[in-house]
Amino acid sequence: MKSLTDININAFAEAVRAELGDLTKSEIQELTDGLEADLAEKFAEEGVDFETASAAEYAAELREAAGVTAKPARRKAFSSTALMQNTQDWFRKTQFGTAILEFGISVRPFWWVLRAFVAWFIFAGVFYDFTRGAILLPVFIFISIQWGRKKWFTGKFFTALVLPLNLLALVLLLPAQGMLLIKLNNYANAEQMLRTMPGNDGLRYNGEVVSELKAFDAEGQEVVEPTFKDQRGNAIDLPATQVAYFSMPDIMGMNLYSATQALKTAGVLDGSGGLDTAYIDGATPEDGIVVEVYPPTPGDMVTKFDVIKITLGKK
């Protein structure tokens, strides 16, 4: 594995070669043959005090030593490689600038990971969802690191892309970070909702939601309004949302039997709610008719646990 020093040396050597870009490939090869070894030797000799000249100056010295004059510069519209090198040269003009540059170079691996995250975030956001796309994140990071180490994509085309893509990643870093925070927040909220949502996290038995739980004592007598707690002492609430709602049928004018059947058909009378009947005007169950249903009124949503109050009178 290459050390950071090796990476820096390689980067500098590449910059020197870029400065010689007006020469032919064979000339560049001839002038820079063994350049990395020379730089490594200089580093080994000067240790931590290693401060190399700028790539432009180094390249100029190589030209002079080889007796090769610089060819007239062709006007170039823009060269990202030259811009990066000029920027580096500018930093190297002062000791403070060199220190900043060296620090920047030393944290490049962190940036390689960060830009991979941005690229992955956009890619996964467009083509996948983030959960399924997560498996691609290590791939993006690996590619970015290999590119950064100049192991892959070393052609001129890709080299020219480095600066624009890095700038793009830098610009998109904050939005991507913001979107990630929003996503994480959404996940957290969804998780919270799932945890607190009645019915989805309620009591289950054999895979089914338990919507009613009764307790009986040793004598088989039902315990009235028992409370249940889990292993952590938290009260067990039955999932209220699992309780079905039914539309109250219109039972006005029906006799008690017909009304009961109608309520059963509507699903209202399947539970423990039952009927609360009241008779008026001396009516009896035998001759009673429904004279009033209140509450609930027809069309109201009721559960089977609601008590249906009906008032019965004579026909």
DSSP string, the chain: ---HHHHHHHHHHHHHHHHTTTS-HHHHHHHHTTHHHHHHHHHHHHGGG--PPPHHHHHHHHHHHHT-PPPPPPP-S--HHHHHHHHHHHHTTSHHHHHHHHHHHHTHHHHHHHHHHHHHHHHHHHHS-HHHHGGGHHHHHHHHHHHHTTSS--SHHHHHHHHHHHHHHHHHHHHHHHHHHHHHHHHHHHHHHHHHSTTTSS-EETTEE-----EE-TTSPEESS---B-TTS-B----GGGS--EEPP--TT-BHHHHHHHHHHTTGGGSS--EEEEE-TT--TTTEEEEEE-SSPTT-EE-TTSPEEEEEEE-
Query: Of 63 and 115, which CB lies nearer to another protein in the complex structure?
Result: 63
Query: Of 8 and 211, which CB lies nearer to another protein in the complex structure?
Result: 8
Q: Draw the binding track, 37-56, toward another protein (x: CB under 8 A; -: no contact).
A: xx-xxx-xx-------x---
- Select from 63-71, 112-120, 132-140, 158-166 the region that touches another protein (CB under 8 A): 63-71
Q: Residue 108 CB, nearest distance to another protein (Å)?
A: 22
Q: Draw the binding track, 65-104, toward another protein (x: CB under 8 A; -: no contact).
A: xxx-------------------------------------
Q: Residue 148 CB, nearest distance to another protein (Å)?
A: 23
Size of the site for another protein (CB under 8 A): 22
Judged by CB under 8 A, the chain residues 5 through 44 that form the site for another protein are: 30-31, 33-35, 37-38, 40-42, 44
Of the residues 12, 19, 58, 91, which one makes contact with another protein according to CB under 8 A: 58
Under the criterion CB under 8 A, does residue 62 sit at the interface with another protein? Answer: yes
Q: Which residues bind another protein (CB under 8 A)?
A: 30-31, 33-35, 37-38, 40-42, 44-45, 53, 57-59, 61-62, 64-67
